[in-house]
Structure 1
Amino acid sequence: MVIDIAISVILFLMSIAVLVTIHVCLAWRASERGGFDIDTTTVVVERSGSRRPNMSLDDIRKLPSFDYQVEEETGKVIPMDCAVCLENFKLGEICRLLPNCSHSFHAACIDSWLSKTAVCPVCRTNANLANIGEQSTNPSEVGVELV
């Protein structure tokens, strides 16, 4: 019984040594090919051609904004969240509507988001007003009251 345990422990340690050796060999080969820099602790992978451009502050300010109004359905208050900060909308807060997909967010949250990437954080639809095409830009048609 003791011999069986000793053999199991030895085999376990040998398998760990083999895995560590394989890992070191693969890392060395990748660094020799220039696949990554071993000295860095953060690896950033960018997909070529998939990054969407950001929006200018002027374009962001052209997006419709509105004061949040609590919607009541059958006597119940339905809380809505901002998908950027994950906080509930509160009565009277300034929100912004993305006309291409009709998603709403806190104005400050979505402004910050769009200054980095011009896509909706919920559905990834392009948020640029120039890409609306045939869609309506009339906010009253999507049920919001503009400021």
Structure 2
Amino acid sequence: MASPGGFKVFEWDLTVLNHTSYHSYSRGLFLLLIFFSLVIFIATLFLYAHWICSQRRPSTAAAENATPAPSPGLDPDFINSLPIVWHRSVVANSKGKNGFIEESECSICLGLFEDEEKLKVLPECNHAYHSECVDKWLSSQSSCPLCRASLSPTTP
């Protein structure tokens, strides 16, 4: 059947359908369906894992109400029991040993030791510091500020 302008009109001939062409289209559709199913499955797993992890985190309100951790510093009685010495500037003898504290500055505040100033000597390492400086340090730390030797009475 021809149209008035000489163009052929598309005609449907349902008797000569070839089923092999439909087979390739259905395979592509099936693979596309599997791909989107996998994407949805993986997205669901990710969201579920995210929800589980968010449930395990402690809330900020619970963290505020929690009791604070004990201070890692030393006991005030132990700090007060440390020996106090007076600093004296002594000219060393020819051998360089004078029997006094050889340090000339506090490694906490970096201030120089003055004559007749109170210093505390740590028993483990014999490092000397201003009494006020080392008291503040040891109330929050349990080691020597210079060499990190442990001063905790419970450790061997």
Output the TM-score relative to the length of structure 1: 0.49
Greater share of helix residues, 1 or 2? 2
Greater share of strand residues, 1 or 2? 1
Structure number with bigger Rg = 2
Output the TM-score relative to the length of structure 2: 0.46
With a CA cutoff of 8 Å and minimum separation of 6, indicate the structure with the bigger relative contact order.
1
